[in-house]
Chain A
Amino acid sequence: MKIGVYVCECGINIAATVDVPEVVEKVKSFPNVEICRYNKYTCSDPGQESIRKDIKELNLDRVVVASCSPRMHEPTFRAVVEETGINPYCFEMVNIREHVSWVHKDKEKATEKAVALIAGAVARAQFLEPLERKEVSVIPKSLVVGGGIAGIQAALEIATDGFQVYLVEQSPSLGGRMAQLDKTFPTLDCSACILTPKMVDVARHPNIELLTYSEIEKVDGYIGNFKVTVKKKPRYVDTDKCVGCGLCAEACRLKGRVLNEFDENLSKRSAIYIPFPQAVPLKYTIDSNRCNMLRFGKCGDELLCVEACEQNAIDFEQKEEFVELDVGTIVVATGYDNFDPSNEPKYGYKENPNVITGMEFERLVNAAGPTEGHLEINGKEPENVVFIQCVGSRDKEGHEYCSRVCCMYTAKQAHMVRDKFPDAIISVYFTDVRAFGKGFEEFYNRVLDEDINYLRRELDDSIEVVGNEKGVIVKAEGHPDIHADLVVLATGLVPKSDNKEIARKLNISLSGDGFFMEAHPKLRPLDTFTDGVFLAGCCQSPKDIPDAVAQASGAAVRAASPLAQGKVVVEAITAIIDEDLCSGCRICENLCAYTALEFVSDDKIMKINDVLCKGCGSCAAACPTGAITMKHYSNKQVLAQIGGILNQ
């Protein structure tokens, strides 16, 4: 056995806290260590080359690299040894950066710890065994979850690459939040004008199957071979027959009595509805929480909608349906929720009609919105408008992050108020204006020139909105009171309330802020820890439309690439059973979450289906006879590592 050990200085990232030459001196004397060197950057070309050269010249059969986290560079080094003729599983990595140099200051102790960890790896390396990685074929289809701008973009890209895409949207229409916006910063394009053509493209694309009013129920399988169960909620309208004429909604007994969530509850609709006129698909849906017939089995003396529908499309007997989709990859684009200021800090929201949120503002200025674009409160045009920034964002007790879009949407909205009311007094309470994107600073400067008072306050300074007979008074610490008749809260973007549930279904993680977590914040921002599942848009973090679209195009490339290759390599780490030792006790059988263990009644032993086995090792830990070996984490390997670390 000849082991080569390579200790990385990582510039000074490791070398500043770990005495690397001393580590090398100690490691040289470990059993079976043929060579031990250090490099400034082991991952760099010269670093990799030194490993290749040693493997050839010294006939190494195991390689250990002590550097950063295996999450970072294990694939890099596995490829290096593989190219040079060593099985990638005969490589072992030691994390002396994230787990040593970056978390400890005491150089002596950090050095000792690095030596101990390497001793563990060297001991383990002697028992490493070559493993064969399986290649599995990839179902050349993708699933996109969420039909906002990010999901739309991702679906169109993958479909245009020539692969079949299922786009699953939980609401009755595509569009997401962007459909609710009026104009978009910094160019002031009309949001619907740039969005709706894309929605139509999705509906028409021969490679996209659109499942609206549908949700993900269950996800099984792995990259290349996911099996997804989708629940299609009943619309109580036959979409093959519905032509979107709207006669039903006109006729509905509850017309004008059901709160319209698309208008942020500022208007009322019927119980049978489309969310907005350009909805895709243009098919009506019955709101089962409100429809009399669905709630009470009765609606007056006759069913007005049924009477009105010339197509006979209404079907109260519709049931939810479950469809199974087989896909190779998944893009998650489920977007965000708006911060609800009826929770603290409320600034008089809900208590006072003059206080509204940013999204409510968008609806109020929209020509298709509740007031047909007339910005008025209680029928009166505002004369003194105050915007308050950072509501629900940058709050150490709540959402600590910056929501990234509110500064710019406030500038946009202030501009729109000025556009409509040249004489209005407009003030913006801000803390820092974050105008970081292309064209943002220019736009902000333009707005500043429109006679808009930007008033600076510290985040911790008190600011209160109290009602009076004429409207409200905004009392901000260090500033004179403002008597306003409209206050717009720049509410932040928050994780969707069901993110945790979705994360569990998809086997992905959440970041501390509650958004979905990327595999690496810098280098793998579109991937998750689960191979084959990718992220796009605001579900990963708050972002504006240009960023959401760019990320979606990127995620589409990531999701399409396995489909194009047709094959993926999956982990070789599975369990194996020694038939001679297996007593057929079946203890392991129930422990396996993937039914990979099967009892063979003729032989009275267990058998492993290694396509189903995901390699957790729960069975191996339970086997009383030691018949199950977990490849790459065998008892021998783990115990050797323990011994190596402790006996050093």
Chain B
Amino acid sequence: MTTTQPKAEVKEFEPNIIGFLCNWCSYAGADLAGTSRIQYSPNIKIIKVMCSGRVNPMFVVNALQQGADGVLIGGCHPGDCHYQHGNYLARRRIGVLKKVLEFMGIDERRVRMTWVSAAEGRKFAEVIEEITDDIRKLGPLKQLKRVNEW
């Protein structure tokens, strides 16, 4: 039972990750990573929403169905939401969704909620590295390859 064999295999896999970022904090944090030239893995593709509270769990499921191997949802820190409590709503919804995904046999680490402020360019890059790494280890998502007509 050596672990070296599968590891080498996993390395070749580059996950496709969708990131939903709120306009006010996380998206701005990602911009700051850019202006500060902080490097991170290119696997993440960002979609801007006004608030993390806009992220319908169906968006996440749909992304997974359409071929994403993981999804990140970024909002303002608790208490700092531009819309007062949209981030709390997101946290709850994503929490529930993770449970449902687990139930369906999908590793809950594929979906991650994070807080990044407009000042946290470095943290943003770190979060991206972490999620990319996690999902790289989990490998491609196979269960959900059905393109949804919505």
Contact = CB atoms under 8 A, between A and B. Distances in A.
Interface of A: 69-71, 95, 97-100, 102-106, 109-110, 112-113, 116-117, 120, 503-504, 507, 509-512, 517, 529, 573, 591, 593, 614-618, 620-622, 630, 633, 635-636, 638-639, 641-643, 645-647
A638 B47 contact: yes
A361 B59 CA distance: 61
A356 B51 CA distance: 48
Nearest to A614: B83
Interface residues of B, number: 54
A105 B39 contact: yes
B28 interface: yes
Contact of B30 (A99, A507, A620, A642): A99
A593 B53 CA distance: 11
Interface of B: 16, 18, 24-25, 27-28, 30-31, 33-35, 37-42, 45-51, 53-59, 62-63, 66-68, 79-80, 82-86, 89-90, 93, 117-120, 125, 147-148, 150
A621 B54 contact: yes
A190 to B, nearest CB: 38
Contact of A69 (B34, B45, B150): B34
A517 B118 contact: yes
A98 B46 CA distance: 11
Contacts of A642: 18, 47, 59, 62-63, 66, 68
A630 B89 CA distance: 16
B66 A617 contact: no
Given A642-B59, A642-B62, A647-B67, A110 B31 contact: no
Given A98-B35, A113-B42, A509-B25, A646 B67 contact: yes
A592 B55 CA distance: 15
14 contacts: A69-B31, A95-B46, A98-B30, A99-B30, A511-B119, A512-B120, A529-B82, A593-B86, A616-B51, A618-B54, A622-B89, A642-B59, A643-B66, A646-B18
Contacts of A95: 31, 34, 46
B49 A617 contact: yes
B47 A120 contact: yes
B47 A641 contact: yes
A594 B50 CA distance: 15
A315 to B, nearest CB: 38
A316 B80 CA distance: 39
Contacts of A71: 27-28, 31
B34 A616 contact: no
Contacts of B42: 100, 103-104, 106, 109-110, 112-113
